[in-house]
Amino acid sequence: MQRRNPVDGPITYTTFQVARFLGVSPPTVVNWVTDGLLAAHRTPGGHRRILRADLVQFASARGFPLAPELEGAATEAAAPVGSSAAVVHRILIVDDEIDFCELVRMHLGFRGGWETDIALSGFATGLTLFRFKPSVVLMDILMPDMDGFEVLKMMQADAEMRHIPVVACTAWRDPQAEIRMRQAGFYAIVQKPVDLDQLASVLDAAVRHA
């Protein structure tokens, strides 16, 4: 669905909508933005938004056929499968690999119903938790400053955060480590490389459990 800025301002699109309009993958659109080829701005929540005028200019200059909506047709772009405008959950993705964070953010954005924020270190997580107030946290275990166990322990010691389900996400394949994660109180454990649809199902279940 197209978005308007406050006070009925210019029409903006998400990276997922732009990908559908131009017939490319969402990561391709993100790369265009990162490389400065396609103008975009970020919302306070960190989501990229592309102005309709900038998208039309970009597509026309590179010979992409314009989608009907970009040509001024009244038909709106279809909403992502499984999206829900009425229910939006918040997820904080904690991982020192920005590419992984963006991949999860894009997938959940495509599904709809999620607002995401990112913390690239265990230390940054504390401040982001208080500001963003997530419904669920996706937590990397091995990070250079505070590891996932330390962050979870910090959350469990805080009355306002201990109720938030935390899903461990790790490439650490060790049965003893998995036992330790479960004993520590992680809601679930997801192994990297992740199956994004399976991950979304785990996150949905975590929110319902909370």
Q: Which of these ranges, 51-60, 88-97, 201-210, has the smallest mean pLDDT?
A: 51-60
Q: What average pLDDT score do residues 170-196 get? A: 91
| Measured distance CA(138)–CA(130) in Å, rounded | 16
What is the model's pLDDT at position 77?
Answer: 35
Domain 89-209 matching CATH 3.40.50.10540: the answer reads no
Residues 38-85 pLDDT 10s:
888 887 777 888 888 888 888 877 777 776 666 652 233 333 444 434
pLDDT at 158 exceeding the cut of 90: yes
Q: In the chain, what are the helix, strand and coil shares in percent, each to the nearest 5?
A: 40, 20, 40
| Measured distance CA(106)–CA(48) in Å, rounded | 10
Which sequence spans correspond to the domains of the chain? 3-61, 89-209
Q: In what order do the strands lie in the sheet with 188-191?
A: 114-119, 89-94, 136-140, 166-170, 188-191
Domain 3-61 matching CATH 1.25.40.10: the answer reads no
What is the model's pLDDT at position 88?
Answer: 80
| Measured distance CA(12)–CA(180) in Å, rounded | 45
